[in-house]
Amino acid sequence: MKRTYEEINRKIKSGDAVIMTAEEVIDVVERQGIKSAAKEVDVVTTGTFGAMCSSGAFLNFGHSEPPIKMQRVWLNDVPAYTGLAAVDAYIGVTELKENGDTDYGGAQVIEELIAGKAVQLKATAYGTDCYPRRKIETYVSLKTLNQAYIYNPRNAYQNYAVATNSSDLTLFTYMGKLLPNYGNATFSSAGQLSPLLKDPQCRTIGIGTRIFLGGGKGFVAWEGTQFNTSVPTKNGVPVRSARTLAVVGDMREMSAEFVRALIFHRYGISLAIGIGIPIPILDEETMKSVAVTDRDLFAPVLDYSVQSRNRKPIKEVSYAELRSGSIELLGKKVKTSSLSSYHKARVIADKLKKWIKEGDFLLSEPVEKLPEERTFKPLEVISKEEVG
């Protein structure tokens, strides 16, 4: 059995396409088998909603009178990067206020803009003949900005480590609060709903893929940073941090329901953003991938008290075990908790399903495949001569 994107989109337009979420299709496959399910289902929707630190937004403020070439910019006292043109800036979600406040940063600015709030803009400049103004202070919102779009260099991680802590001290990390002596374990994935776990080789996900992003429509723009294919697999799915996506979308289409600022106590700021990706059932192999369950998806458990990039996994555990509320580590029952919302992932997959069924969301075939081979390179302290 083979299908094309064109065939599926025709069925979507005519209202004849069969759309299921990644949860729903598991039951169909268990009842009917891969072959029968592949004939019946046209599209499977996925979802994830969790911390995505490598995120931010490009903003264009327009020209003031007289004009200014912004050299430094602050939004609600959070610095934004201005090494672009005169009135463009990029604000990263983890950037903090310069006054030392660790509970407010770029993520809060982005959430407030999406929620329709006004944000204070301050900018300074050195002044030029064509841009004579040296300072400006005003307020902006999505209504006053020319362009405001999310561009996230690394989202939707394909699997991630489970974090625990063997030391006698409590650790505060991007994986949350880790209690001493294996007091808890945290993870961050929607498992059987997660987009890149349901298309592990990115056969259907590539540059140009239309996606659900933050409550609106977006696109896969490129491979994500730290994209890595050189990891071990189990049941055809990576069991380490692997592929990632760079994504882009218009903030005006987004909703604060699916773009939320996060505060990690004694660590910093992040952003939870909802991503949903439709997977066209092109053949039986695609159906086999989307039917993988939490029982068959595994993640490594790492000890975050080992302050090294070369931490060795203590063991691998399934997402079914993680979602049960506890795992066993070295003979001890350890409580588990998720930093991503399975409930919200389910909402996203359902919402995307509804969009497609109503004909408001067509599938886009990638204009370019993501890399089939890519190795993650660590940063070494070396001399200029050794760089080569």
Burial class (CB in 10 A: 0-12, 13-18, 19+), 331: exposed
Q: Across the strands, what pairs with 139?
A: 120
H-assigned helices in 61-159: 106-114
Q: Across the strands, what pairs with 259?
A: 273
Which residue among the candidates 130, 379, 381, 387 is catalytic per the annotation? Answer: 130
What is the C-alpha separation between 13 and 11, in angstroms, rounded?
5
SS (H, E, C) 337-385: EECCCHHHHHHHHHHHHHHHHCCCCCCCCCCECCCCCCCCCCCCCCCHH
Phi, psi (deg, nearest 5) at residue 349:
-60, -40
b/e per residue 29-39 (b: at least 16 CB within 10 A): beeeeeeebbe
What is the C-alpha separation between 143 and 345, in angstroms, rounded?
29
Q: Across the strands, what pairs with 250?
A: 149
Active site residue 53: no
What SS3 class is residue 88?
A: strand
Active site residues: 130
